Amino acid sequence: MKKNISKNGTLLIILAGIFWGSMGIFVRGLTSLTGFTSIQIVSVRLTAAALFFALILWCRDRSGFRIRPKDIPLFLGLGLCSILFFSTCYFTAIRMMTLSVAAILLYTSPIWVMLLSILLFREKMTKNKLLALAISFLGCIFVSGIGAEDSIVTPLGILIGLGSGLGYGLYSILGTIALRRYSTYTVTTYTFVIAAAGSFFVCSPSDLWHKITVCESKPYLCFFIILTGLVTAVIPFLLYTLGLEHVEASRAAILATVEPMVATVIGIVVFHEYLTFLSILGILCILAAIVILNHRASVSQK
């Protein structure tokens, strides 16, 4: 039974990464169709997700809206220090540097998660985890194409990019703590409601509201905005948070590196981007890291 639960948790984490990997379709679509800035897309995505999560919690268990006052700082950390902070840093890094460099800095998150998990949760540092971490990080480098001629690297950009990785990783750490006290639906609802509220302070709300009113006259744009929140936030974060109930935070962070691999495949299939030898090598590295982690989990449960 325990083995099956662990396998299900692993599958949920990987599925979450697959959904996150589709984000490029929606970001590019919203940018071309609505003229939203990157930060405004963050705000719209977080707000749509917050509404979905609140509706889900209302339908499933209204008592889930009750949280203890002493846990408010925990949810503020999840919403502001994790989701909003990582999103803002990531999109800022994208504007300052190339997408490939910003992506590889974002995927320093498994390193942060592993270090914090050892300190906070006393997770064991195993050879398999270190090997999988190294291989997945190398795979992300290959997939992102860092070192290409168009790569732009600045000290401030690196600092902000590392901030996105830390913020991204904090969701696994703080989420693990929150799940010991509350249901998945309570955790995700409060996380995104707080993140959405905070996003209005950084997204030029008056300009955003003007663009949204224009979208109201075009139903297909409204549908696309809703779909963006559903596919890139609601579904993957629900899957990831459910997976965290059965998978160690450090393993989950490495498994989620399937995201850049999926993004690369989508770029090739949907946007006709060129597939390089390094991209293929990177995809194989990420798949190898997942196999190593799952092999270790299977051995430990026998």
User: 3-state SS of 175-235?
Assistant: HHHHHCCCCHHHHHHHHHHHHHHHHCCCCCHHHHHHHHHHHHCCHHHHHHHHHHHHHHHHH
Choose among 299, 259, 261: nearest CA to 283: 261
What is the rounded average pLDDT of the residues 104-131? 85
Mean pLDDT over each residue of the chain, to the nearest integer: 84
The 10s digit of each residue's pLDDT in 15-71 is 999 999 888 788 878 878 878 887 888 898 999 999 999 999 999 999 999 999 999
Question: Taking 50 as the threshold, does the pLDDT of residue 1 lie above it?
Answer: no
Lowest-pLDDT range, 57-61, 120-124, 270-274?
A: 270-274
The domain ranges of the chain are 2-301
Nearest to 184 by CA among 117, 245, 259, 265: 245
- Among candidates 109, 118, 126, 102, which has minimal Cα distance to 171? 109
For residue 299, name the pLDDT band (cuts at 50, 70, 90). very low
Stated pTM of the model = 0.84
- Residue-wise pLDDT for 86-114, tens only, equals 988 887 887 777 666 677 788 888 888 98
* Residue indicated by tokens 């190339």: 98
- The confidence score (pLDDT) of residue 250 equals 86
